[in-house]
Amino acid sequence: MFDVDPAIRDSLRPHGLAVTRETDEAGADRFAVVGRTWAFKDRLKQLQARFDGSRKAWLLASEDALRSFAEGIGATGPGLAEAPAGDPDKGAGWGSKHYHGHRDGLRTRFAEARDEGALADYELLELLLFFSVYRRDTKPIAKALIARFGSLGGVLAAAPERYGEVFGLDPQAVDEQRRAQHDEDLRFTQILLKAVHHLMRRTLKEELKDRPLIGSWSALIDYLSVTMSHEGTEHFRLLFLDRKNILLRDEVQSRGTVDHTPLYPREVLKRCLDLDAAAIIMVHNHPSGDPTPSKADVEMNKEVVALLGAAGIEVHDHVIVGKGKHLSFRTQRLI
């Protein structure tokens, strides 16, 4: 086995690339580059590399070519780098001048906007997708995501694996390089959008820390709406409070179906005693979007209030979260 210059090997590794040295059929040295090569295929082609589809490897004919390749990508850090502009004569395809001009224009509009309504919802999502989608027009992807999941909030709250439903690639109709690029785009998009969703939830939850929850009702509803309004199944959440109504713990107690989730009053009491909670706020969502309580909701609420009341623990409220609206049992005089 022939060795490869360690400096070259180390410079390729951060980009998800590996290289081996071997001999070709004529006994001459050559170098096989494997890994996330799709991002660098144009550079490899410039160096007269040949793609071996059976091994998913690019074959370089000399160490000088390999060194030139490594030096050429060495200045680019690993991660989500946008593709260079392509050939302007190739139209609005992958990496073309067309979509680069569009991206620059959208960035400029966002940077110069004087109010948050300057861009449509799909344009904000499109702008975000610039950081995860390589060499592809993000406008149709952004529009398709919002159409499929109903809103920006629905997109961010969707299960990551569902994003693949709108990425529009037939795995049987494209070459290996394009398919690998599509898979990377999808993976980065899944990570990016879920990270944004988690950031939103954590930012809103910061407004609830170390302050009486009863006096922070607007902030609480904002947090619950982002956290629960787009869930596809019912979740039951309990907010445990101390004697000053400061949040002790925020816990999902159960997950159910599209129209029901079980909650066991004795388990609620046990958890309150474990945490030494003085009060709770009960919360659950209605995936249908309508927060009107069912008869079962009202009966279960009465059971919990009665059991906790006997133990000196107050139920401040029971909130049902719908899509864009909510209902308070206390406001409706159901507590």
Q: What does the pLDDT profile of the chain (335 residues) look like in tens digits?
A: 458 888 888 888 877 789 999 988 888 889 999 987 877 888 898 899 999 888 889 999 999 999 999 888 765 444 444 544 444 344 334 444 455 577 888 888 888 888 888 889 999 999 999 999 877 788 999 999 999 998 999 999 898 999 988 886 555 555 666 777 788 889 999 999 999 999 998 998 888 887 787 778 888 899 999 989 888 889 999 999 999 999 999 999 888 787 678 889 999 999 999 999 999 999 999 999 999 999 999 999 999 999 999 999 999 999 999 988 999 999 999 98
Q: Kindly state the helix (H) or strand (E) to which residue 20 belongs, with its residue range.
A: strand 17-23
Please give the model's pTM, rounded to 2 decimal places: 0.62
> φ, ψ for residue 2 (rounded to 5)?
-80, 150
Q: How far is CA 192 from the centre of its chain?
A: 5
Report pLDDT for 1: 43
CA separation for the pair 35, 13 (Å, rounded):
9
**Is residue 84 packed enough to be buried (19+ CB in 10 Å), middle (13-18) or exposed (0-12)?**
exposed
Residues with Cβ within 8 Å of 204's Cβ and at least 6 positions away in sequence, in order, are 219, 222, 223, 226, 227
CA separation for the pair 48, 42 (Å, rounded):
10
Report pLDDT for 126: 93
| Long-range contacts from 10-18, C-beta under 8 angstroms, 24+ separation | 11/70, 11/71, 11/73, 11/74, 12/70, 12/73, 14/77, 14/78, 15/39, 15/40, 15/73, 15/76, 15/78, 16/78
Q: Residues 168, 140: contact at Cβ < 8 Å?
A: yes
Going from the C-alpha of 276 to that of each of 33, 115, 312, the distances in angstroms are 60, 46, 11
Report pLDDT for 184: 85
Report pLDDT for 74: 60
Q: Residues 247, 255: contact at Cβ < 8 Å?
A: no
Q: Kindly state the helix (H) or strand (E) to which residue 156 belongs, with its residue range.
A: helix 152-157
CA separation for the pair 295, 262 (Å, rounded):
14
What SS3 class is residue 236? Answer: strand
**Is residue 161 packed enough to be buried (19+ CB in 10 Å), middle (13-18) or exposed (0-12)?**
exposed
Domains delineated in the chain:
6-74 (no CATH), 88-202 (no CATH), 211-328 (3.40.140.10)
Residue closest to 82 by CA, chosen among 69, 99, 68: 99
